[in-house]
């Protein structure tokens, strides 16, 4: 049994399916969504390919249903997100004769799904694709919304395209091999979804945080995907409301980069959310009780929350190179209370000043 979340984008509408799925069930959902492809290139995270027995089982189940199914192992994790690796994948597609009727299936964490989606967006000017996210972060965030792309030496996600998948299938069975630290990092984005748009989700994680079973996790993922799907449907190309998804990310990205990526994205976002709530409280936007509440929850989930001392001058300086910055202001997201978010264009100097006031450890 799987739960489903529709992403109603007109002619590009698709579904996200979530559940502990047999490889045959995953393959069936992918085959239905991809219609009649002339071939299927399964691009797989390099670590996952060697770790998870589910990869071979899924490729076999796809081969039983679709023509010319072949597997290419990508460089593991973030190292797949380069133009060199994209060229390698495109070259491999041509060598194996994949034409405009072929489809890509991206199998892995957010890095592999971003790579696979981007390859599908540009190969022969665009072919269809579907995603099988295998990290919690990719299930709740990276695989939904149609953003694809890779990094440049100058920064992350600087090259990319919007390209919507035909389907996303999140098989929770893939989480069996995921390290606990990666799982916790993914939970940060689930908490974010609750904070910005779903108070009941936030409260449920508070109640169950010590003891989240597979079935409950499937429901939490479904709720988080609904939040992301709702926001991206309203604002597919990030001109307005989609900005609320950046809650915790303005300072989160700065902390992540300043740590030279020693912090996982979700860990940095956990710190960024605590910082944004604290600054929100200082501005009178965030209800005071929420700061300790959210901090306690994130800590219980195994995430870092010790912002004081981490928001340093060099971290604040990094906000300036955030590509989401407009004019001299930062689109800063505040959460007044669980389930509610407001985007305020704040002058960069004011954010710096307020961070300095809120975090005396500087």
Ligand X SMILES: NC(=O)c1ccc[n+]([C@@H]2O[C@H](COP(=O)([O-])OP(=O)(O)OC[C@H]3O[C@@H](n4cnc5c(N)ncnc54)[C@H](O)[C@@H]3O)[C@@H](O)[C@H]2O)c1
Tell me: does residue 26 bind ligand X (CB under 6 A).
no
Tell me: does residue 45 bind ligand X (CB under 6 A).
yes
Rule CB under 6 A: choose which of 15, 26, 112, 250 binds ligand X. Answer: 112
Q: Exposed (0-12), middle (13-18) or buried (19+): which is 191, by Cβ within 10 Å?
A: buried
Rule CB under 6 A: choose which of 141, 236, 267, 322 binds ligand X. Answer: 141
Tell me: does residue 157 bind ligand X (CB under 6 A).
yes
Residue 205: CB atoms within 10 Å: 24
Least CB distance to ligand X at residue 249 (A): 9
Q: What is the largest CA-CA distance in the chain?
A: 62
Q: Exposed (0-12), middle (13-18) or buried (19+): which is 239, by Cβ within 10 Å?
A: exposed
Catalytic residue at 296? no
Catalytic residue at 337? no
E strands present in the chain: 3-7, 14-19, 40-44, 69-73, 103-108, 128-133, 147-152, 155-162, 167-171, 329-334, 342-347
Catalytic residue at 238? yes
Stretch that binds ligand X, among 98-106, 133-141, 200-208, 236-244 (CB under 6 A): 133-141
Tell me: does residue 108 bind ligand X (CB under 6 A).
yes
Q: What are residue 6's DSSP bridge partners?
A: 15
Exactly one of 166, 228, 310, 318 is catalytic; name it. 228
Tell me: does residue 338 bind ligand X (CB under 6 A).
no
The tokens describing 284, both together, are 């009178």
- Site size for ligand X, by CB under 6 A? 30
Catalytic residue at 246? yes
SS3 of residue 107 by DSSP: strand
Catalytic residue at 115? no
**Angstrom distance (rounded) from CA 46 to CA 77:** 7
Instruction: Say which DSSP state 326 is in.
Output: B
Rule CB under 6 A: choose which of 33, 34, 49, 111 binds ligand X. Answer: 111
Shorter beta-carbon distance to ligand X: residue 289 or 321: 321
Beta strand pairing call for 14-19 and 329-334: unpaired
Rule CB under 6 A: choose which of 29, 41, 138, 269 binds ligand X. Answer: 138
Tell me: does residue 135 bind ligand X (CB under 6 A).
yes
Tell me: does residue 243 bind ligand X (CB under 6 A).
no
Catalytic residue at 253? yes
**Angstrom distance (rounded) from CA 328 to CA 347:** 6
- Please state, in angstroms and as integers, the Cα–Cα distance from residue 344 to each residue in 65, 123, 131, 190, 277, following that order: 50, 39, 34, 23, 14
Whether the CB-CB separation of 18 and 225 falls below 8 Å is answered with yes
Shorter beta-carbon distance to ligand X: residue 261 or 353: 261
Exactly one of 54, 81, 115, 147 is catalytic; name it. 147
Q: What are residue 14's DSSP bridge partners?
A: 7
Tell me: does residue 184 bind ligand X (CB under 6 A).
no
Exactly one of 246, 256, 258, 267 is catalytic; name it. 246
Residue ranges binding ligand X (CB under 6 A): 45, 47-48, 51-52, 76-78, 81, 108-112, 114, 134-135, 137-138, 141-142, 145, 147, 156-157, 174, 177-178, 182, 265
Active-site residue numbers? Answer: 125, 147, 189, 228, 238, 242, 246, 249, 253, 265
């Amino acid at each position: 049994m799987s739960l489903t979340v529709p992403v109603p984008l007109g002619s590009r509408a698709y579904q996200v399916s979530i559940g502990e799925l047999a490889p045959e069930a995953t393959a069936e959902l992918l085959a239905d969504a991809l219609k009649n492809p002339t071939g299927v290139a399964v691009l797989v995270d390099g670590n996952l390919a060697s770790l998870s027995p589910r990869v071979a089982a899924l490729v076999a189940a796809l081969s039983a249903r679709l023509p010319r199914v072949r597997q290419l192992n990508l460089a593991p994790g973030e190292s797949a997100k380069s133009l060199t690796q994209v060229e390698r994948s495109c070259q491999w597609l041509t060598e194996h004769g994949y034409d405009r009727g072929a489809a890509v299936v991206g199998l892995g964490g957010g890095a592999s799904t971003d790579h696979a989606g981007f390859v599908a967006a540009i190969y022969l000017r665009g072919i269809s694709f579907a995603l099988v996210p295998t990290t919690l972060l990719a299930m709740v965030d990276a695989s939904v919304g149609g953003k694809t792309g890779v990094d440049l030496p100058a920064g992350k996600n600087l090259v990319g395209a919007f390209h919507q998948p035909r389907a996303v299938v999140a098989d929770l069975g893939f989480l069996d091999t995921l390290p606990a630290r990666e799982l916790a990092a993914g939970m940060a984005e689930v908490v974010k979804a609750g904070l910005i748009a779903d108070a009941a989700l936030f409260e449920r994680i508070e109640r169950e945080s010590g003891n989240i079973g597979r079935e409950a996790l499937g429901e939490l993922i479904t709720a988080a995907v609904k939040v992301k799907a709702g926001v991206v449907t309203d604002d597919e190309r990030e001109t307005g409301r989609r900005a609320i998804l950046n809650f915790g990310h303005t300072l989160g990205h700065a902390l992540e980069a300043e740590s030279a990526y020693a912090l996982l994205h979700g860990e940095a976002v956990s710190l960024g959310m605590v910082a944004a709530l604290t600054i929100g409280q200082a501005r009178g936007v965030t209800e005071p009780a929420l700061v300790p509440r959210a901090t306690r929850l994130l800590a219980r989930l195994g995430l870092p929350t010790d912002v004081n001392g981490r928001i340093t001058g060099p971290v604040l300086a990094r906000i300036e190179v955030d590509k989401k910055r407009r004019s001299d202001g930062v689109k800063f997201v505040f959460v007044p209370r669980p389930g509610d978010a407001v985007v305020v264009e704040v002058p960069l100097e004011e954010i710096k000043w307020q961070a300095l006031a809120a975090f005396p450890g500087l």
